Structure 1
Amino acid sequence: MKRVNSIPSVTDNPAYCSWKKQWSSQEGLDVYSYIFDQCQPEHILLFSKMLFPDFVVKEGGVFLARNFSTEVLDRCSGLASGDISKTEKLLNVVRIYDVFGQVAAGVSDDVFLQLCNVIGFAWRMVLKEKFPEKVFCVEVTNSEQNYGPDITFYQVGSLSPGAEA
């Protein structure tokens, strides 16, 4: 038997660890037990929009609907000198600290970076599903100069008819 993990194990999660320690018998407790006991289905459903976002296709570019407006497109296109991939990279960036606002206080940077990597994994799947003729780069970065972990995507090419990614 071989176990194949879709994403790495979650680390540095004090809320989960604290919850687990409250039980005298921790045998059988796992992430799914925590979800059963602590998580609201509505929150998970709403967050799924981060994992599987809506897109706007315009002028050959693919853009996150949550970030898109004609004004932002024009500004990013100007900064990118009209290069569509560079425009996508600028317009599609999501700074993960900004997604969570005030509830982010006390959460480790490592958790946010893990979350960006999970979002990146989901974006790779959904982009491939929705735009099979295009090839995308999904990029996760973490730098203080960019205000912590962020994620973006942009086109790096297209597939020839009959080719597979």
Structure 2
Amino acid sequence: MKRVNSIPSVTDTQAYCSWKKQWSSQEDLDVHSYIFDQCRPDHALLFSKMFFPHFVVAEGGVFLERNFSNEAFDRCFGLAAGDLSKTERLLNAVKIYDVFGQGASDVSEDIFLQLCNVIGFAWRMVLKEKFPEKVFCVEVSNSEQNYGPDITLYQVGPLIF
């Protein structure tokens, strides 16, 4: 038997660890037990929009629908000096801290970075499915200059118009 993990094990989950500690018998408890007891299916469905977003195709570029407007495109295109790949990189950037409100103020930075990596994994899959003729880079970074973990996507190689 060989075990194949899709994503690395999740670590540093304060809510899960606190929940698990309340039980006298913890050996049979796992993430699925937590989901069963604490999570709502409608939340999971809503979160799927982060992992499998809608896209807008404009001027040969591929953009996250949540970030796209004609005005934003024009502004980013100007900042990128007409480079479409750089325009995609700018316009598709998502700062993960900005996705969550005050309810996440006690969540460690490591959780946000892990989440960015999982989102990146999902974006790579959906981009291959929806745009098999294009080649993308999905980039996750974590720097003080960018206000914590962020993620973006952009085309690499020759752009197909």
| TM-score normalized by the length of structure 2 | 0.97
Tell me what 2:28 maps to: 28
Distance 1:92 1:117 in 2: 15
1:19 paired with 2:36, answer: no
Tell me what 2:67 maps to: 67
- Cα deviation for residue 158 of structure 1 reads 5.5
- Cα deviation for residue 148 of structure 1 reads 0.3
- Cα deviation for residue 104 of structure 1 reads 1.6
Query: Secondary structure, in 3 states, of the residue corresponding to 1:37?
Result: helix
Which blocks of at least 5 consecutive residues in structure 2 are unaligned? none
Tell me what 1:143 maps to: 143
Tell me what 2:120 maps to: 120
Q: How many positions carry a matched residue from both structures? A: 160
- Cα deviation for residue 157 of structure 1 reads 2.3
Distance 1:3 1:34 in 2: 22
Distance 2:44 2:105 in 1: 20
| TM-score normalized by the length of structure 1 | 0.95
Moved over 4 A (4+): none
Partner deviation per Cα, 1:95-130 (whole Å, 9 max, x = no partner) = 000000211201000000000000000000000000
Distance 1:154 1:98 in 2: 20
Tell me what 1:81 maps to: 81
Distance 1:134 1:32 in 2: 36
Percent identical pairs in the alignment equals: 82
Distance 2:29 2:72 in 1: 46
Partner deviation per Cα, 1:64-109 (whole Å, 9 max, x = no partner) = 0000000000000000011110000000000000000211201000
Distance 1:107 1:45 in 2: 21
Partners of 1:137 and 1:156 within 8 A in 2: yes
Partners of 1:133 and 1:158 within 8 A in 2: no
RMSD: 1.3
